[in-house]
Structures are given as C-alpha cells and as structure tokens.
Structure 1
C-alpha cells in the first residue's frame, strides 16, 4: 500500500476512533493518539471536525479532546441505552472539583474526604455526600471511574479496583491527577447547553452541521426530522455530503426516499451493533418483525401490539428466553430500550401509541438459522 492510501486509511481510523473515544491520552491510547497527532493527519482531522461538523478538536503533546459543541442548546448524539444515575454524575463533578485542589498523587479515600467537605458547604447546592452509607460509597467509586475514563485520573500501581466501597479501612486506588485533562473535561458551551441555557446559533453553517451530525452520529438522517432549510441543504448538497462521509469514514452511504444512512462495514465501528449474538438482541429482532406485521397503514403500533408480540416470540422461540428476560415485563422493557436506542421505534402522538421508523423495514423477515442451542445471557 502506497503512502497516500495508507494515510487515507489511518485518517479514517483516527476520525472514527475520536468519535468513539473523544478523550485520548498518550498512555492509554498510544496507537490511536499517534494517528491523531501525526503531522499528516492532525490538521486535516481538525478541519473535518470544525468545518463539516462544527466540533472542536484540541490536540496537545500528551492528549487529544474532541468537543461536541451544541447548536444553540441542542447536541446531536446517539441515544444511550442506559444512562448513569444523576447522583453519580453529581459526585463525579464534585470529585473533579476536589481533584483540582488535591495533590498530584491522590487516592479514592482522599477524594472522598474532600467531596464530603465540599458537599457540606452552604454554597454547594447539592445533597450532602455521606461516605458512611454503602450506597453512596458505591456511587462515588463509580463516579471516580468516570473521571478515569475521561482521562482526568490515571491509576497508579496494581491496586485499581480493590473494593474500596466495601472496605472502610482501605484508602482505595492511588491516582495521578492529570490537570490538563481536568481543565478540558467540560467545554463551557456544552455545559451551558446541559443546563438548558441557549447558546449562540451558527446560522451560516447550522444546516450543514445538523445534517452531517445526524449522518455521522445517529443511525439515520430522515428528511422528516429536518427543518425545511436543512432538507433544502441536504437535497442541494447531497453529493458533497455523501463524498464527505465516505472520505472521513470509508463507510457506505445508503440513500433512500426517506433519507440517508451511513452504514459501517465493521460492527466494531458502531456504538450499538444490532443484532448481536445474544438473547436480548434475538428476542428484540423477532419482536420488531412481529410489530412490523401488526403495524397500521401509518406504521403505528400500540401497547397491545407490543404485549402480543412479546408473548408470541416467547411461545415461538422458548429456547431464546434466558434468565435476564424471563418475565414478560423484562422482555418488553429491554426490547423497548433497544428499539428506541436504535431509533427503530419512537413514541407516538399520544400515550399507548408507537411509531415505527422507516429504518425498521431493513429488519423485516429475518432468517433464523438455528435455535437449537440456548442463547447465553451475554452483554
């Protein structure tokens, strides 16, 4: 492979890698970080993110940080199947504030002590943190892990995950505070949007950014989800948009009457591959197929249709029902979580109604190869 072709592949790997890991540090992501920081890739990547998506990529000697800046108060991002508890996020922010005043080397216990003091201040308008309660300690331990994943804390030594929450006599993991990443953890514009305060709208590029973000970040970009100005932009610039997506990812843009979808060639390149070889995905796929058959002319299904589909699939494929989804309620809830995260099903115009999106048609009439073995309870 010649140099130009290799650079094209490496830039795509760097671009997709940053979407999946918006916080990179030289130590934990050495290979990907090297691609991002490479002299032949760095400026091009920055240009792609800024001019095509309206994002900001910051690259230093030791780290890279991709900021998904909001348009006004809206951030286009994949829907999470599960979200961290609000209390965990609050404790993570308090721990980040505590880490700013901590020594360069700190511990779980030191951060916990600092957060207890910080949360008790009159000007800190949150419920006080009580490390004597196991539930609080468990949440705090998970909150610290969020900071580790954000590159703010680096575990030092081999004691990472030593069960601090269950052992009041332990100091927990030892961490090195990464002050550069700590300062870059939250972007002011994104923080303002998270608080529901409308920021500046980039009117000149808003249509381009919205369309590109929907294609890059979401399962599909449907014309019905776009404003009139955004639809006009996509229709007018469709060839350029498709070329950009192909250049940045190497994936295939599927064009249909309802909209466009960017299809990854490898399921490892998407945050939510479907269907995976696990019981929840199989049952969800079969429920979706049943709902597709029960849908009305306007692609609307009801809660009753969902309940009937859940029962039908369990009766037809009993070996697919693992402990995780043994009850009808569990099967229904897990299937709905997954279908909504994949944007295959949306809430209808009134309670009890659900709207199948055009993407659902891609999964109709699935061919079941074998159901002779019981599927595992795997995530």
Structure 2
C-alpha cells in the first residue's frame, strides 16, 4: 500500500519535468537548477516517452538539459523569438544576426566582450553572399546596435552567455561595454536540425528549410504509422489547435481513428486536457503554463483582442471573411467607448490600425483566425476559425434582478484553446 503514494508522487514529478521541457526546451544550470535536477532524476523515463511518442531527442548532462524538437510544419510563422516579455519579436534581420553571433562565439575564447562580438559579426556580415542577398550590417546606428543587444539578451536567457561585468545599455549609448562567459556545451546544443546547414545545397529558402528538417521516409506500414503518430503528437503538443482540414489525407485518417489513444497518452504524460470538436482537437492547459501567448489578458491590448474575438465569433458560423476595414471601424468604436479605461492615444488617427494589428497577431498565433488573401496576396479580410466560438457571448440571463452576459457559456476554460509551446 505504501508504494501507491510513492508511484503517484513519481508520476507527478515526471509530469512536472516534461512540462518544464515543453515550456523551455533548453534548461541550464544557474537559473534552472531546481528544474534541471528534476529532469536529471527522471531523464531515462522522459527520454523513452519522448523518443516513442514524438521522435524528439533529449540530452541531459551536468550543466544542461536540451530537448531537440522537430517541428511538425515549417509553414507556421507565429513563433518568433523574443529577448524578453513584451519585447519586439525577432524578424529576418535579428535571426541573421543571431546566426552570425553564434558563428563568432563558436571560434571565440572562453570570455568575450560585446564590442568584440560586434566586431566579429561585422566581419562575418561582410560575406559576399550576404551582401548579394541584400543583408548588410554596419552597427553604426542605434537601431542596429539594438538588434545585436536583443540577440545577446536572448543568448543570456538561453544560458549560452553569462554576464560577468558591464551592461548592454552602456554599449547602446556608446559609454561602455559588457563582458560575458561563453558556455560551450550550451552553445553546441543550439542547432536542432537533422543535418548541418553547411551540407545543404538548395538555393531557395523553402527548399533549404525542407532539407534542414527532412526525416527518413518509412518503408514499412508499422514505421509509417509510427511516423504519423509522432507527427500528430508533435502538432498537438506544439500548436494551439489542430484542425482536420489542415492535415494531409493520411494524417487526418490516422488521427480520426487513433485520436482517443493519442490524446490519452498526452494527457497522462503532461496533464493537458483534450478538447475534441468536429473540426479538430485542442489540448488545453488548465495551469496556463505551457504558453507563450495568453488570452484573455488585462490592459488595453488584451481587452481589444478579446473584443475583436467576440466580434468575430458572432460571425464565425456564416463562414464569410470579415473585411479589415470593418474591423478597424469596430475597434474605433470600442476605443471611443472605452477611452477612459484604455491607454492614452487610442482615439487618435491611425491608432485603430495598430490596436487591430496587435489583436490579430495574437488571434493568428492561437489559430483562432486566418487571413483571407486579397489583391497582391495582401490580406484584406479575416476568416474566423471554429475554435473562436468559445469567445462568443451567450444571451443575457437574469439573476438576482441583475442582467449578466456570460462569455463563452458556462464551463468555458479561462485560457485560449491550447496554449502554444515554445519551439526553440
């Protein structure tokens, strides 16, 4: 009888360790000491489950734990890196700078200053192929130095670098420098592709990306089914919602037939809760931890996002795209109504476009809306996806002589359907 509580405790500990890896696939000593000890304690079981259900590789040593994830799809563009909460997302320029910085650090000494790193990046950026692609760096402007600082702060958060002295703000203002230790074990674990980028010969970006993430083609029915299960499990773990109409024919057929078995294994291992609908499946986190995009949120942007979601949810059943112009008009109307509660400037000309863009970025990331392409492939309208129905308003109900409007109906979870996982 005494073994049962112990077994339950071990299972809960393994679940916490797996959730920690899903939330942050790279855990390093120092800031993550407690989490790292937990992962090391259950490394064998975690490694076995991940290899079987996802095909992901887990490497654990004294200084770090690295979950080498393989993305289920390379077309998803709503997982940008950030160097801190609320910071601007990484774009093409910052990602190029990140790659250049990693190449400089690979050949650097055990310590490096931000100034020396900048010099190395400038040398690497002078490569004729980069110049021919229209990518140039001078780091002469504050904006360019800010991009490099964003890259350095991301590397600090990942444990690749550790600050010894100085401050990045001093470098930005040209009044000082910063010194870092370079953790080579962590640096070596940054790449997660199945093959080295230098071995790829394709010229087009999409082709290079496909080769970088390509996996062996199964040659037996058992191996094909295993590959299907692993791909679908990855998507259920990584994506807010998995819609049947976005899957290939073989994936859709397999998921429809095996959805209960697949989701049960995910629930047991992670504590996520399955939400099945006719259109697809979402894995919802009751703890609201396995996410980099939350909804609903407080403050102006959070309120705008929720209002836009409610507006679109009421029109989702029609299946018709809603023009961006109509959404902007709705946001202007709401800004005038809530101006005393929202931040300053929301009623100024052009503010509605910025508020709407922020809201739609979040709704796209949560797979609640999709763009309806217009002329020149520029989105001119937004199509509400089925999962947005949870944000529709029910009819008013009378209770204690007061009128209440219930968002989404009784039992609607507080979080959006399946919070996104970290894809680093």
What TM-score bracket applies, with the shorter chain setting the length? 0.7 to 0.9
Partner of 2:56: 55
Query: Are residues 310 and 201 of structure 1, via their aligned partners in 2, closer, same or farther at CA, if it must alter by over 3 Å?
Result: farther
Q: Which whole-Å deviations, capped at 9, do the CAs of 1:38-77 have from their partners, x for residues lacking one?
A: 1xx1122112222212222111221111122246x73778
Q: Would you say the 8 A contact 2:19–2:290 is kept in 1?
A: yes
Partner of 2:15: 12
Mapping for residues 294-333 of structure 1, pairs under 5 Å: 294-295=315-316, 297-323=318-344, 325-326=346-347, 327-333=351-357
Mapping for residues 55-204 of structure 1, pairs under 5 Å: 55-70=56-71, 74=74, 79-80=79-80, 83-121=89-127, 127-157=135-165, 159-167=166-174, 169-170=175-176, 172-189=177-194, 195-198=208-211, 199-203=214-218, 204=224
Q: Distance in 1 between matches of 2:266 and 2:254?
A: 15
Partner of 1:374: none
Which range is displaced more, 279-288 or 192-201? 192-201
Query: Are residues 61 and 237 of structure 1, via their aligned partners in 2, closer, same or farther at CA, if it must alter by over 3 Å?
Result: same
Alpha-carbon distance, 1:160 to partner? 4.0
Partner of 1:235: 256
Q: Would you say the 8 A contact 2:372–2:382 is kept in 1?
A: yes
Query: Are residues 80 and 107 of structure 1, via their aligned partners in 2, closer, same or farther at CA, if it must alter by over 3 Å?
Result: closer
Partner of 1:261: 282
Indicate which of 23, 26, 31 corresponds to 1:23. 26
Q: Give ranges in structure 1 of 5+ residues lacking alignment.
A: 370-379
Partner of 1:372: none
Alpha-carbon distance, 1:8 to partner? 1.5
Alpha-carbon distance, 1:301 to partner? 2.1
Query: Are residues 310 and 243 of structure 1, via their aligned partners in 2, closer, same or farther at CA, if it must alter by over 3 Å?
Result: same
Alpha-carbon distance, 1:365 to partner? 0.7
Q: Distance in 2 between matches of 1:118 and 1:238?
A: 48
Structure 1 residue 214 corresponds to structure 2 residue 214: no
Alpha-carbon distance, 1:343 to partner? 1.1
Alpha-carbon distance, 1:283 to partner? 1.6
Q: Distance in 1 between matches of 2:36 and 2:77?
A: 23
Query: Are residues 365 and 122 of structure 1, via their aligned partners in 2, closer, same or farther at CA, if it must alter by over 3 Å?
Result: closer
Q: Would you say the 8 A contact 1:291–1:305 is kept in 2?
A: no
Q: Distance in 2 between matches of 1:18 and 1:145?
A: 21
Q: Distance in 2 between matches of 1:368 and 1:146?
A: 42
Q: Distance in 2 between matches of 1:31 and 1:346?
A: 40
Q: Distance in 1 between matches of 2:339 and 2:381?
A: 27
Q: Distance in 1 between matches of 2:338 and 2:354?
A: 16
Q: Which whole-Å deviations, capped at 9, do the CAs of 1:289-314 have from their partners, x for residues lacking one?
A: 12233456225322243233223323
Query: Are residues 304 and 89 of structure 1, via their aligned partners in 2, closer, same or farther at CA, if it must alter by over 3 Å?
Result: closer
Q: Distance in 2 between matches of 1:128 and 1:76?
A: 26
Q: Would you say the 8 A contact 1:294–1:305 is kept in 2?
A: no
Q: Would you say the 8 A contact 2:80–2:90 is kept in 1?
A: no
Indicate which of 361, 367, 376 corresponds to 1:343. 367
Structure 1 residue 252 corresponds to structure 2 residue 273: yes
Q: Would you say the 8 A contact 2:112–2:179 is kept in 1?
A: yes
Q: Distance in 1 between matches of 2:236 and 2:138?
A: 44
What is the aligned-residue RMSD (CA, Å)?
2.7
Aligned residues: 363
Alpha-carbon distance, 1:132 to partner? 3.3
Query: Are residues 352 and 259 of structure 1, via their aligned partners in 2, closer, same or farther at CA, if it must alter by over 3 Å?
Result: same
Alpha-carbon distance, 1:206 to partner? 3.3
Partner of 2:383: 355
Q: Distance in 2 between matches of 1:238 and 1:149?
A: 36
Query: Are residues 80 and 357 of structure 1, via their aligned partners in 2, closer, same or farther at CA, if it must alter by over 3 Å?
Result: farther
